[in-house]
Amino acid sequence: MSLRGLAADPTAAVEITADALTVNQGSRSAVFAGNVVIGQGELRIAAGRVEVIYSDETGDIARLDASGGVTFATETEAAEATGAVYDLTSGILTLNGDVLLTQGASALSADRMVVNLNDGTAQMDGRVRTVFGQTGE
């Protein structure tokens, strides 16, 4: 099972839609709640709630903390988890809690998955289970 489809461009523009937004200038953060959808290039993240933390140095988005059931998708892969942290500075996406990654007929599950979106590598731990779908001809 190749994980190359997990690669994304952490420098691409980020678009966020949600039912509600609360901004906290003091903590340099914002909370998007209700049907949150995040788009960045080919990457899509959906969640019930996402806290956005901005960089003190640049004012750009530094990190996204998603909770309330998270779905992550690229053109060829999809993953589900209880929560996720996406560090845009490093390009690292960490999915936590009942992680399920699917690619075609194959699936991987674990307690935690750490994905480097710069190069498409991933590490899963915590009772990892793999099901490889066969493409018989």
Q: In this predicted model, what pLDDT tens digit does every residue of 83-114 receive, in sequence order? A: 999 998 898 989 999 999 888 778 889 999 99
Cα-based distances in Å from 62 to 16, 54, 85, 86:
14, 5, 11, 9
What pLDDT shows up at residue 136? 54
Location of structure tokens 């899509």: 44
What pLDDT shows up at residue 52? 93
Which residues lie closer than 8 Å to 62 by C-beta, 6 or more apart? 53, 54, 55, 87, 88, 89
Nearest C-alpha neighbor of 126 from the set 94, 91, 92, 90: 94
Which residues lie closer than 8 Å to 19 by C-beta, 6 or more apart? 33, 34, 35
> pTM score, two decimals?
0.82
pLDDT along the chain (137 residues), means of 10: 57 89 91 94 91 90 93 86 92 92 85 86 87 64
Which DSSP letter does residue 4 get? Answer: G
What pLDDT shows up at residue 2? 46
What pLDDT shows up at residue 78? 87
In a 3-state reduction of DSSP, which class is residue 116? strand
